Amino acid sequence: MSALVIAEHDNARLKPGTSNAVTAAAKMGGDVHVLVAGQGCAGAAAEAAKLAGVSKVLVADAPHYAGALPENLAALVTPLAKGYSHVVAAASAVGKGFMPRVAALLDVAQVSEIVAVESPDTFVRPIYAGNAFATVQSPDAVKVVTVRATGFEEAAATGAAPVEAIAAGPDTGKAKLLGQELTKSARPELVAARRVVSGGRGLGSAENFRLVEALADKLGAAIGASRAAVDSGFVPNDCQVGQTGKIVAPELYIAVGISGAIQHLAGMKDSKVIVAINKDPEAPIFQVADYGLVGDLFQDVPELTAQL
């Protein structure tokens, strides 16, 4: 038994999620290999080689892996997958894109977004936006599994696995990446942050979101938002925490002016400590909060920032 973890990276560094996927793969039993496919991706490969539990890193370096397009990734991974019992990737935008393609080409089921490994063929995954958890067993020869990062610890950077170059797969030429508009921020990445401060409709405007930003900067936290705040244009889409946005589980999650719709709770209720500040004492967010403060956020948030 052995698992192949497909790394997600920007060529220089691994993206958050890959090291959690390695931890999950190690629980499936057997060796863990990591595949790094990219263009000029030696930096990411070196980082993968350090992850505890990894026994080999495979590198496919070619121009047609620059954009991590699912057609090309699937064409590379599918023939390799036949030599493994498990193919594993983070359930990120990239992983969600190419992994089902790999599963279909192998004629096997995919197990999506697992949060626990019960045994080499049995996994736990949320369904109905986390309102239920299904334990599923896969009889397929190759198990194709995506991993929800918040379900697993990050692998420590204590290893030293050999790095081996492999031949690139075909360039399918089916899609062309024209460009990316990435949100630039000096703050930590939302999905990997240890602390998150999120704002909701209660902030009222994009300008008022500065209160959330000031608190986040004081805490060294990432910025999140409810769907209502994103739909109102206060912050960009990629800040959204919830069923249709990012799933986070930081050590500290502070929800400011967020009522706590089911769709938002699905994205943050696994956080270790939840603080809610809201003027409505009946807001559902207080049902999941460890510490609730009923009050005017325009007074309380600056006061909190000042007292930290």
**Residue whose pair of structure tokens reads 């403060």 in the numeric block:** 293
* Token pair for 20: 């959690």
Which residues in the 241-260 window bind other proteins by CB under 8 A?
Answer: 243-244, 246, 251-252
CA distance 67 to 182: 13
State the nearest-atom distance from the C-beta of 165 to other proteins, in Å. Answer: 26
Check binding of 138 to other proteins (CB under 8 A).
yes
Check binding of 135 to other proteins (CB under 8 A).
yes
Check binding of 129 to other proteins (CB under 8 A).
yes
Per rule CB under 8 A, count of chain residues that contact other proteins: 87
* Token pair for 169: 């797969």
Which residues in the 192-231 window bind other proteins by CB under 8 A?
Answer: 195, 219, 227
Q: Please pick, from the candidates 30, 100, 204, 284, the single residue that binds other proteins as defined by CB under 8 A.
A: 100
Check binding of 116 to other proteins (CB under 8 A).
no
Residue 282 in 3-state DSSP?
Answer: coil
Check binding of 128 to other proteins (CB under 8 A).
yes
**Which of the 8 DSSP states describes residue 210?**
H
Q: Which stretch binds other proteins (CB under 8 A): 32-40, 47-55, 150-158, 295-303?
A: 295-303
Amino acid identity of residue 161, one-letter, is: A
Q: Are 272 and 252 in contact (CB under 8 A)?
A: yes
**Which of the 8 DSSP states describes residue 264?**
H
**Residue whose pair of structure tokens reads 């912050």 in the numeric block:** 235
Amino acid identity of residue 184, one-letter, is: K
**Which of the 8 DSSP states describes residue 124?**
E
Q: Please pick, from the candidates 158, 160, 162, 182, the single residue that binds other proteins as defined by CB under 8 A.
A: 182
Check binding of 111 to other proteins (CB under 8 A).
yes
